[in-house]
A and B are shown apart, each in its own frame.
Chain A
Amino acid sequence: MLETLLPILIFTALALAVIGAVRRIRLWRQGRPSRVNLFQGLVALPRRYLVDLHHVVGRDKMISNTHVATAGGFVAAAVLMTLVHGLGIANPLLGGLLLLASASMFVGSLFVARRRLNPPARLSKGPWMRLPKSLMAFSIGVFLITLPTVGLLPEGLLEGGSSWLLALVLAGVVAWGLGEMFFGMTWGGPMKHAFAGALHLAFHRRAERFSTKKGGVGRSTGLKALNLENEAAPLGVEKPADFTWNQLLGFDACVQCGRCEAVCPAFAAGQPLNPKKLIQDMVVGMAGGSDAAYAGSAYPGKPVGEHAGAPHGPIVALEGKALVDADTLWSCTTCRACVEECPMMIEHVDAIVDMRRHLTLERGKTPNKGAEVLDNLIATDNPGGFDPGSRLNWAADLNLPLMADLKQVDVLLWLGDGAFDMRNQRTLRALVKVLRAAEVDFAVLGAEERDSGDVARRLGDEATFQSLAKRNIATLAKYRFQQIVTCDPHSFHVLGNEYGELGGNYEVYHHSTFIAELYDAGRLAFAPWKGGSVTYHDPCYLGRYNGEYEAPRRVLKALGIKVNEMERSGFRSRCCGGGGGAPITDIPGERRIPDMRMNDVKESGAELVAVGCPQCTAMLEGVVDASAEVRDIAELVADALVERPAGNASGGSQGTAEMITAEEAIV
């Protein structure tokens, strides 16, 4: 009986899965076009899955091994089962492999079940709670029906008249497993992540974020430019169908593991944002309906079930409620912690900025100080509305060389808007002292410099960003320099990663990287560190955005400081709350993000926290009753500077031969 029933079951499930897949693909295709090389993407899929995705999943070894056993077992079992039981190729070798695959899957599913016994808050419940049972049903069912095939059980056992009941029960178990694994995969069950996830990896909007065999960096963090020339092109995303099709596909790939939720600073601060819920809301919007079925943590302060949307309905309502409230979108600090943690490589920040662009460019609804800051950027080229001519007032006594006079230098020192901020002026003065001590040939743009456009862009004002960027690019084109050095990671990121699309390609250094190279070249000498214990706070735009975790630590080591790392450091560093225009939009929460970060500092026991970003300095210094002092790396370096040992023209403790090569690398 099973011999006739199984092929019917398998091929019905497969046929239903194909119908579901077509329906799902039609949902994605509601999105706007996006140019992706489909063939190349599919070819790259195995590598993207096995290397890049597992690099992220592998941060949690238990889950990584569980997934290898379960998913690997399932894929093998599904193929073999179709051959053995569907097409009736009763080869004992194939049968043996099928037994092995289903056994592996069963072991994996035991671990899945164990994790679901007492699941952490970040995991979604609902249908996900039945998944381990379905996995077991599938693996046990397949295992048992395969036993007779390989002759481990007498062939007749399931065929005798008395055992029809047993056969029926087995068929039922297999049908349950097939229902979840084949049918559920394309009709919106938990297994949807496998189908959508595989295609999402293949057709990812940022193909360049994946590593390549040749050893590509695999980083792509710059926001994509809006086409402002074409007046018909929409300005940002108003409705779910305004996303590109592969963004919609990406939302569908979410496994609701909640790793993003666990690292999101806004969620931890009780602001109304949860990256996981946001992605699920986009899935709801793409298919149409309400968020009532969502079974994970809600946006803090916003109960589930009150919002609904449709593919062609607005995401943020003009009045009342739609799919998402505006304050959810404005809570994001664009720190990319969610993107860094996402095992499915979903791009949360891109989606949030896309929706912000609509709110700012079409509706003029940038909250709180947003409108004022944008008006200032338009009228004065800096967010504070200061006189552009006063950009160098802080350096009146420093006699800074100007690009306009020199025309050609090695290093262009980009000041950033910190030049108007009295705290950051101390950092800038320290940096100038360091550059002079190392005899670097540098100059500044002075009054010709404008805001890099970072804040305007993250607030969704792409028009102002592009206007600032194009004028900065035109200014930079007048002069000749080897590299740009800046103490502002936001300028560093925008100049280095986002001007390229508009025609400005530069070699940009963060000051910590530059100082590290100067030290390695023997152009700086430091007095030994005499202070207390020090920790280092990784700025998001230096670390996660640009992968620079090492240089600042190298500089601190050179100063004789042993960094007392915080629990969350490196790629898991917690945001200071100062990015993405968050201090400007200022969405209320239960706690302040910088307070939480200073608490991290306190727990590390450090008396001083070294930073490398004007925003971080401002946010962390704004913490009341802090246990640690906040100093920029440039300040620490400037304080420790001593005369280079005499006897060598360019000084340095390193050997001359090594020094020359390093010099060449810098100049």
Chain B
Amino acid sequence: MRPDQQQKQQQQGIDVAVLVSIGRHPTTGRARRAEQDARGLELALSMEAELPGTRISMLHAGPQGDGSEAALRGYLGMATGVGMGLESMTLLEQPEGSDAIPALAAHLAATSPQLVITGARAERGEGSGLLPYALAEHLGWPLVNSLASVEKVENGVVTLLQALPRGQRRRLKVRLPAIISVDEAAPAARQSAFGPARRATFAITPTTPEADSELAQWHLAPARKRPKRLKIVKAASARDRFKAAASKAEGKGGQVLTDVTPEQGAEAIYKLLKEEEVLR
């Protein structure tokens, strides 16, 4: 990318694509905006407020229907006020049971947004949480999970704050384009308003559906409640009990690499993955 283009980019903000799915209320099972995806959109909207010129597009892959439409309008209702430019959502239409990943990957490759935001895990369907990783693999873009906030965008590099367990945060610099996934660490989604949600439209893009062949082979059954093993805390004092509840799980074994070249680091990881038989 030429320097002048980068300069322009810094001033104009960036193109952000937010992937949204249809959620499922944990108590009643009703379709709704998915909790994590809504947080992803909230992140994009707060970026837009801080970084003028940021353009947000929303993307959903799935069938078109009344039930799903009401849930998707839940996202569209979050874009209230003037100049949000979110009066429309791109709907990659495909029948139920199709694989969303090829359709999303093809669309993202064609429209080339600089930042893709997605929830960590869907609330219905497989809900395996693999979609961000599969997309990153398809597109060859870096992925950052469990994002807390986007701090700034400069010359094609985004500074992110990643949430780690127990309230820890890690600052990362990532070259764009990139995919980020959000979970409960991201700020809660704003209220969805009825008026903007009702007025919004869907830009329906037909796709060539690819049936999810793996999913078709699976046998799906409702989850059963399993007996829980009671955790016996052998603690003599309140301090011990507190430590047991609050302390970080200590990792056993392993090695800490410091001051190594990226190649050495990658080699160490590759070796470990081989040992653990993740890679064969």
A365 contacts the other chain (CB 8 A): yes
Q: Which residue of B lies closest to A390 (CB)?
A: B27
Least CB distance, B52 to chain A, in whole angstroms: 15
Report yes or no: A364 in contact with B28, Cβ–Cβ below 8 A: no
Answer whether residue B192 sits at the interface, using C-beta atoms and an 8 A cutoff: yes
Inter-chain contact A362/B32, CB cutoff 8 Å: no
Q: Are B27 and A385 in contact (CB under 8 A)?
A: yes
Closest residue of chain A to B31, judged by CB?
A: A379
Query: Distance in Å from the Cβ of A419 to the closest Cβ of chain B?
Result: 16
B192 / chain A contacts, CB cutoff of 8 Å:
364
Q: Is A63 an interface residue (CB 8 A)?
A: no
- Residue contact B191 to A364, C-beta cutoff 8 Å: yes
Residues of chain A lying within 8 A (CB to CB) of residue B81: 318, 363
Q: Is A235 an interface residue (CB 8 A)?
A: yes
Residues B48-79 near A (CB distance < 8 A)? 77-78
CB–CB B191/A361 < 8 A: no
With CB as the reference atom, state the residue of chain A lying closest to B193.
Answer: A364
Which residues of the partner chain A approach B199 to less than 8 Å between Cβ atoms?
Answer: 231
Does B30 make an interface contact (CB < 8 A)?
A: yes
Cβ A362 vs Cβ B28 within 8 A: no
The answer to whether A363 and B193 touch across the interface, beta carbons within 8 angstroms, is yes
Contact A318 B82 (CB under 8 A): yes
**What is the interface of chain B mostly: helix, strand, loop, or mixed?**
loop
Taking the complex as formed, is B190 at the interface, i.e. its CB lies under 8 A from any CB of chain A? yes
Q: Within the assembled complex, what's the spacing in Å between the Cα atoms of A386 and B28?
A: 9
Whether a CB of chain A sits under 8 angstroms from the CB of B241 is: no
Whether B191 contacts A371 by the Cβ 8 Å rule is yes
Alpha-carbon distance between A461 and B191 when the two chains are bound, in angstroms: 12
Q: Contacts A364-B80, A374-B191, A380-B25 known; A231 to B196 CB distance under 8 Å?
A: no
In the complex, A6 Cα to B195 Cα: how many Å?
A: 59
Whole-angstrom CA separation of A385 from B28 in the bound complex: 10
Chain A, 450-493, CB within 8 A of any chain B CB:
461, 463
A274 at the interface (CB under 8 A from B): no
> Which of A340-387 touch B at CB < 8 Å?
360-366, 370-371, 374-375, 378-380, 385-387
Write the chain B residue with the least CB distance to A461: B194
A388 contacts partner chain B, Cβ-Cβ < 8 Å = yes
Known contacts being A235-B195, A361-B195, A364-B78, is A387 close to B190, with CB within 8 Å?
A: no
Kindly state whether residue B124 has any CB partner on chain A within 8 Å.
no
Q: Are A387 and B194 in contact (CB under 8 A)?
A: no
Give the one of A318, A378, A386, A387 with max B CB within 10 A: A378
- Taking a contact as CB atoms under 8 Å apart, the answer to whether A361 and B25 are in contact is no
In angstroms, how far is the closest chain B Cβ from the Cβ of A331? 19
**B198 within 8 A of partner (CB):** yes
Minimum CB–CB distance for A542 against chain B, Å: 30
A361→B192 CA distance, assembly (Å): 8
Residues of A near B193 (CB, < 8 A) are: 360-364
Which one of A231, A366, A386 contacts B191 once the chains associate, using CB atoms below 8 Å? Answer: A366
- Cβ distance B72 to chain A, nearest Cβ, rounded Å: 14
Chain A residues within 8 Å of B80, by CB: 362-365
Given the known interface contacts A363-B80, A364-B78, the answer about A387 and B191 at a Cβ–Cβ threshold of 8 Å is no
The reply to whether B191 and A379 contact each other, CB–CB distance below 8 Å, is no
How far, in whole Å, are A380 and B196 apart by their CA atoms in the complex? 23
Whether A379 and B25, one on each chain, are in contact in the complex, defined by CB atoms closer than 8 angstroms, is yes
| Interface residue count on the B side (C-beta < 8 Å) | 19
Residues B191 and A365 in contact, CB atoms below 8 Å apart: yes
- A361, B194: Cβ atoms closer than 8 Å: yes
- Closest residue of chain A to B196 (Cβ to Cβ) is A362
Are B195 and A362 in contact, CB atoms less than 8 angstroms apart? yes
State which of B27, B77, B198 has its C-beta within 8 Å of the C-beta of A364: B77
Q: A residues within 8 A CB of B191?
A: 360, 364-366, 370-371, 374-375
Output the least CB separation between A235 and chain B (Å): 5
Q: Which residues of B contact A363 (CB under 8 A)?
A: 80-81, 193
Docked-complex contact A380 and B28, CB < 8 angstroms: yes
Residues in A whose Cβ lies below 8 Å from that of B82? 318
Q: Of residues B32, B190, B193, B198, which shows the largest number of chain A Cβ atoms within 10 Å of its Cβ?
A: B193
Residues in A whose Cβ lies below 8 Å from that of B194: 235, 360-362, 461, 463
Within 8 A of A (CB), among B162-193: 190-193
**In this complex, which of A231, A375, A461 has the most chain B Cβ atoms within 10 angstroms of its Cβ?**
A375
- Closest chain B CB from A581 CB (angstroms): 14
Please determine whether A379 and B195 come into contact, CB atoms closer than 8 angstroms: no
* Chain A residues numbered 137-166 whose CB sits less than 8 Å from any CB in chain B: none
Give the CA-CA distance A130 to B25 in the complex, in Å. 63
* Chain B residues closer than 8 Å to A388, beta-carbon distance: 27-28
A385 to B35, alpha carbons, bound, how many Å?
15
Which single residue of chain B is at the shortest CB-CB distance from A235? B195
CB of A318, distance to nearest CB on chain B (Å) = 6
Chain B positions within 8 Å of A461 at CB level: 194
Contact A379 B190, CB 8 Å, known A364-B77, A364-B80: no
Neighbour of A379 across the interface among B30, B77, B198, CB < 8 A: B30
Residues in chain B near residue A235, CB distance under 8 A:
194-195
Can you list, as one digit per residue, whether each of A316-328 has a CB less than 8 Å from chain B (1) or not (0)? Answer: 0010000000000
Bound form: Cα–Cα A364–B81 in Å: 9
Contact B30 A364, beta carbon cutoff 8 Å: no
Instruction: Determine if B27 and A379 form an interchain contact, defined as CB atoms under 8 angstroms apart.
Output: yes
Distance to closest chain B CB from A2 (angstroms): 62
Q: How far is the CA of A541 from the CA of B191 in the complex (A)?
A: 28
Chain B residue at minimum C-beta to C-beta distance from A363: B80
Complex-state Cα separation, A370 to B192, whole angstroms: 12
Distance from B5 Cβ to chain A, minimum over Cβ atoms (Å):
33
Q: How far is the CA of A375 from the CA of B190 in the complex (A)?
A: 11
Residue-wise, chain A 411-453 has the 8 Å CB interface mask toward B (1 for contact) of 0000000000000000000000000000000000000000000
Are B28 and A379 neighbours in the complex by a CB distance under 8 Å?
Answer: yes
Q: What A residues does B27 contact at CB under 8 A?
A: 379-380, 385-388
Q: How many Å lie between the Cα of A461 and that of B82 in the bound state?
A: 21
B residues near A360, Cβ cutoff 8 Å: 191, 193-194
Q: Which chain A residues lie closer than 8 Å to B195 at the CB level? A: 235, 361-362
Distance of A382 from chain B, by nearest CB (Å): 10
Interface pairs A-B: 10 shortest CB-CB: A364-B193, A371-B191, A364-B191, A362-B195, A379-B25, A463-B194, A361-B194, A235-B195, A364-B80, A361-B195
Q: Which residues in A have some Cβ–Cβ distance to B below 8 Å?
A: 231, 235, 318, 360-366, 370-371, 374-375, 378-380, 385-388, 461, 463
9 A-B pairs with CB atoms under 8 Å apart are A231-B198, A360-B191, A360-B194, A361-B194, A364-B191, A364-B193, A379-B28, A388-B27, A388-B28
Q: B residues touching A (Cβ–Cβ < 8 Å)?
A: 25, 27-28, 30, 32, 77-78, 80-82, 190-196, 198-199
* Apart from A360-B193, A362-B194, A365-B80, 13 more pairs, CB < 8 Å: A231-B198, A231-B199, A360-B194, A361-B193, A364-B191, A364-B196, A375-B191, A379-B30, A379-B32, A386-B27, A387-B28, A388-B27, A461-B194
